[in-house]
Amino acid sequence: MEPTQPSLWPTFVIFGGLFLFMYFMIIRPQNKRNAQISDMLSKLEKGSEVIAASGILGKVKDISGAYVSIEIGENNIIKLQKSAIANILPKGTIDSIK
């Protein structure tokens, strides 16, 4: 009798299951988060109240390419990369904190 080769199907099923697990647990949530960030940054406009990733609150004074000028106090303007913006706050948030 000739020995038979073991089936490769269980191996394919295991690798397929592993890929699906990684897709739904890692890849898909990261893609959704990137889309949310892109959407938020596209809504950025002059006068928007924002919070930077470092915790700095301010109002957007100017947007030029990948950079945003933020007024953090009277005549105190800093420049940040757009990617450093963590969130856009509702209007009046900064005034309510003071």
For residue 1, being part of any structural domain is answered with: no
Rounded CA separation 83/1 (Å): 67
Exposure letters 15-46 (e unless 16+ CB within 10 A, then b): eeeeeeeeeeeeeeeeeeeeeeeeeeeeeeee
pTM across the whole model: 0.69
Indicate if 15 and 52 belong to the same structural domain. Answer: no
Indicate if 38 and 49 belong to the same structural domain. Answer: no
Query: Residue 86 is part of which domain span?
Result: 45-98
Indicate if 91 and 60 belong to the same structural domain. Answer: yes
Is pLDDT above 70 for 29? yes
Indicate if 49 and 89 belong to the same structural domain. Answer: yes
Please write the tens of the pLDDT for every residue from 40-77: 999 999 999 999 999 999 999 999 999 999 999 988 99
Amino acid letter, 16:
G
Quick one: 85 exposed, middle or buried, by C-beta within 10 A (0-12, 13-18, 19+)? buried
Indicate if 57 and 92 belong to the same structural domain. Answer: yes
Indicate if 27 and 50 belong to the same structural domain. Answer: no
